[in-house]
Copies of this chain bind each other. A is one copy, B any other.
Amino acid sequence: MKDIQSQKDTRHVEIQKVGVRNVHIPMIIPEKNGNVQNVSAEVELNASLDSEMRGTHMSRFMEILNKYSKITLSYESLKNILSETKDALKSSSVSMNIKFRYYIEKQAPISQKKGLIDYICGFKASLDENFKTILHLEIPIITLCPCSKEISEYGAHNQRAYVKINVEYDRDDVLWFEDLTHDIEKLASGELYSILKRPDEKAVTERAYDNPKFVEDIVRDTTIYLKSAEGAINFDVECESEESIHNHNAFAYVNFGI
């Protein structure tokens, strides 16, 4: 059976990335407490293609992803996915992008009721001469507008916002979604919860009013936090606020070497 993909290509165009995308597949993610969490991931996996080769072999990406959907994800397994892809496709560089919802239990501040909050989490990894891994995390928070509080006789507009970070790291045992969400939520006007009874709602409301923050404040405070976070090398941070007084969003973005 003829292998069209392996035909020699004469167009002299190297392709930086060719592969699969929008792959929905289960993944197994280690939790900080030693357990694992079964997640439903959306994945892209790609490889470079030399200018002389007509096509890649798409089925190999899927064979590798199906294999690793049964293995707990780690710094080592990310490296292995990329390394096996690089070998299978004789590529000079490969990269992948994984996103999933990850659940963390949080307790309401007063009633101590426990409930799950969902975070969009993920990993980006690439391998050429070097291996590079980036953790991705989106944290829902409350922003309460300092300007609105200052100029109004009472009240202040507030809303749901998202802190989105990408952090390059070089060891697998330092950065945990659990720690990052815990620490970064503290930097917001307020935190979100799954279950809030009335005494909790009072506490959350008053805390937000006591901690007015612009999106600019949040990216700055998160920048300062990540600069000192053990294990973090480079990073970027964005805060996007779904303004309650507008039908558009406000955002701020800091890039620190990523």
Type the 1/0 row for A154-183, where 1 means its CB is closer than 8 Å to any CB of B. 111111100000000000000000000000
Q: How many residues of A contact B (CB 8 A)?
A: 102
A233 at the interface (CB under 8 A from B): no
Whether B63 contacts A193 by the Cβ 8 Å rule is no
**Quick one: which of B59, B62, B144, B251 contacts A155, CB cutoff 8 A?**
B144
Nearest CB in chain B: distance from A188 CB, A: 11
Closest to A53 in B: B216
Of A20, A54, A250, A254, chain B has the most CB atoms within 10 Å of the CB of: A250
Whether B242 contacts A21 by the Cβ 8 Å rule is no
Of A13, A38, A54, chain B has the most CB atoms within 10 Å of the CB of: A13
Whether B25 contacts A253 by the Cβ 8 Å rule is no
**Quick one: which of B23, B144, B153, B158 contacts A248, CB cutoff 8 A?**
B23
A9 at the interface (CB under 8 A from B): yes
CA distance A118 to B25 in the complex (A): 7
A3 at the interface (CB under 8 A from B): yes
Type the 1/0 row for A188-223, where 1 means its CB is closer than 8 Å to any CB of B. 001011111111011011101100001111011101
Q: How many copies does the complex hold?
A: 4
Whether A252 contacts B17 by the Cβ 8 Å rule is yes
**Quick one: which of B18, B199, B216, B244 contacts A253, CB cutoff 8 A?**
B18
Collect the chain B residues with CB atoms within 8 Å of residue A20's CB: 248-251
Q: 24 A-B residue contacts at CB 8 Å?
A: A15-B252, A16-B255, A19-B250, A21-B251, A23-B248, A39-B40, A40-B118, A49-B252, A55-B216, A55-B217, A58-B250, A62-B248, A63-B113, A63-B115, A66-B115, A117-B247, A147-B198, A148-B201, A148-B205, A155-B209, A157-B158, A160-B243, A192-B247, A194-B248
